[in-house]
Chains A and B, each alone.
Chain A
Amino acid sequence: MNPVLTFIVVLIGLYGLATSKNIIKSVFCVTIIESGVILLFLNFANYEGGAIPIVSEDVAAIVDPLPHALMITTIVIGSAVTALALIICIKVFHHYGSTEWAQILRREDVK
Chain B
Amino acid sequence: MNDLMWIDIIAYVLQFMLIAIAVVVVLQKNNSTIVLLVVAFSLVVSGLYVINHAPDVAIAEVAIGAAIIPLIYVISISRQREFIVLDRAMDDFIISNNDFTGIGYVLLKRFTDYYHLELNICNDPGLCSWEAGPDKVICEKTNVDLIVSRDEEKGVYQLKGKESSLLMTKLAQMAEDYDDIEVHTFTERGFGE
Beta-carbon contacts of A69-111 to B below 8 Å, as 1s and 0s? 0011001100100110011011001111101000000010100
Q: Is the CB of B164 within 8 A of A95?
A: yes
Chain B residues with a Cβ closer than 8 Å to the other chain, count: 42
Q: Is the CB of A31 within 8 A of B38?
A: yes
| Chain B CB within 10 A, most for which of A22, A31, A53 | A31
Q: A75-B65, A90-B79 in contact; A52/B72 too (CB < 8 A)?
A: no
Residue B119 CB within 8 A of the other chain: no
- Could you say which residues of chain B place their CB within 8 Å of the CB of A93? 80
Residue B19 CB within 8 A of the other chain: yes
Give chain A nearest CB distance to B131 CB in angstroms.
28
Residue B121 CB within 8 A of the other chain: no
In-complex Cβ contact of B57 among A25, A42, A51, A94 (8 A): A42
Q: How large is the interface on A (under 10, 10 to 19, 20 to 34, 35 or more residues)?
A: 35 or more
Q: Is the CB of B18 within 8 A of A94?
A: no
Residue B5 CB within 8 A of the other chain: no
Residues from 65 to 80 in B contacting A, C-beta threshold 8 Å: 65, 68-69, 72-73, 76-77, 79-80
Residues from 144 to 190 in B contacting A, C-beta threshold 8 Å: 145, 164-167, 170
Give chain B nearest CB distance to A82 CB in angstroms.
6
- Alpha-carbon gap, A20 to B23, bound state (A): 12
Main secondary structure of the interface of A (DSSP, over half): helix
Q: Is the CB of A86 within 8 A of B26?
A: no
Residue B48 CB within 8 A of the other chain: yes
In-complex Cβ contact of A51 among B25, B49, B53 (8 A): B53
Beta-carbon contacts of A31-43 to B below 8 Å, as 1s and 0s? 1100100110011
* Interface, chain A (partner B; CB < 8 A): 1-2, 5, 8-9, 12-13, 15-16, 19-20, 22, 24-25, 28-29, 31-32, 35, 38-39, 42-43, 45-46, 50-54, 63, 65, 68, 71-72, 75-76, 79, 82-83, 86-87, 89-90, 93-97, 99, 107, 109
Can you show 5 pairs from A to B with CB atoms below 8 A apart? A1-B52, A38-B57, A42-B57, A68-B57, A95-B166
